[in-house]
Amino acid sequence: MCEVRPVSGRGLGLVATRDIAPGEVVLSETPVLLYPHHNSLVSAAEAAINFEGLDDELASALLLLVRVISLKTAATAGSGEAQATASAVLAAVASLVPAPESVPFDAEELLRRLPGGHDLTLGDVLGLLRRDAANAYGISLDGGETLRGSVLLATGSRLNHECLPNVARLDAFDDGAPGAGLKHVAFKALHAIPAGEELTQSYFPLHWDLEERQERAVEAGAEARPEDCGGADEGYVGMFLLKYSCPNDACSGTLVPVSARRADVSRCNVCGLQRTDQELYAELDAMA
């Protein structure tokens, strides 16, 4: 359905290999690694880390390193299925493409804060942080806007940013508890996508101001192009945001067709609010 290809002006991206219907799942994958932010600690070992003086990003980066150390221990000292699983996850992390530039973190400081007994070098730490920078998504385990963790995806990370995307992400957790196991992350088509078109997502909530999303995309290393936001056609932009932004004022989600067979019904990927196309048309008539 899609494959990684070079995209003009974008490096690598995911491109549709056939026509895709609205509501169709274009990609579903098991995360390489899931780890909580430091306000969602899930183990005694992580709770013992010294977070003093670290902001959220540095604290989460430190937790990523601790998770990798735990995996390395399980891969060498464990046995059976646990050992095999840890080895597979480490191999998957190593296979991720790192960010081309250095990360804005003090890697030496993070290395000093790690618990003793590990064999990570400064080069290992930098490599892990660069992979995290290029492949991680922020996640919300409670369905709100507060980030509770990060997830590393091998293929999903190839989805480039557009202010008016053609796919949206759906996270499937076992439950809403911090540290809960993640079954999979899926991406669904918002509308019909012809073969050969690049698959894109918005890295930021659609209800954010368009210019703010463009600026944040550039800060995140994405190239914000005029055509990504519907060019100068303000009418198209307005209709797009009205159709796909969750109408719940307290929500930051995107309305996604529930399936290819029920593309006339959309459900928010954050709060679960559901709306039919008929209800949308009624809203438009009321606004006319």
Residue 177 confidence (pLDDT) above 80: no
Distance CA 185, CA 172 (A): 6
Contact 131, 151 (CB under 8 A): no
Q: Which residue in 77, 66, 75 sits closest to 118, CA to CA? A: 66
Q: Which residue in 136, 194, 188 sits closest to 167, CA to CA? A: 188
Sign of CA dihedral 277, 281, 286, 287: positive
Distance CA 223, CA 214 (A): 9
Pairing mode, if any, of strands 198-201 and 2-7? Answer: unpaired
Higher-confidence residue of 21 and 161: namely 21
pLDDT classification of 2: cutoffs 50, 70, 90: very high
Residue 219: its pLDDT value, please? 64
Sequence-distant (6+) residues with CB within 8 A of 43 are none
pLDDT classification of 10: cutoffs 50, 70, 90: confident
How many C-beta atoms lie closer than 10 Å to residue 132's C-beta?
23
pLDDT classification of 281: cutoffs 50, 70, 90: very high
pLDDT digit string, tens, across residues 209-257: 777 777 776 666 555 554 455 454 778 888 999 999 999 988 889 999 9
Helices (H) and strands (E) in the chain, counts: 8, 13
Pairing mode, if any, of strands 160-161 and 136-139? Answer: unpaired
Q: Structure pTM?
A: 0.78
Q: How far is CA 23 from CA 27, 31, 83, 184, 251, in A?
A: 12, 22, 38, 17, 21
Instruction: Say how many CA atoms lie within 13 Å of 214 toward its Cβ.
Output: 12
Sign of CA dihedral 83, 176, 155, 6: negative
Element (H, E) at 212: helix 210-219
Residue 277: its pLDDT value, please? 96
Residue 173 confidence (pLDDT) above 70: no
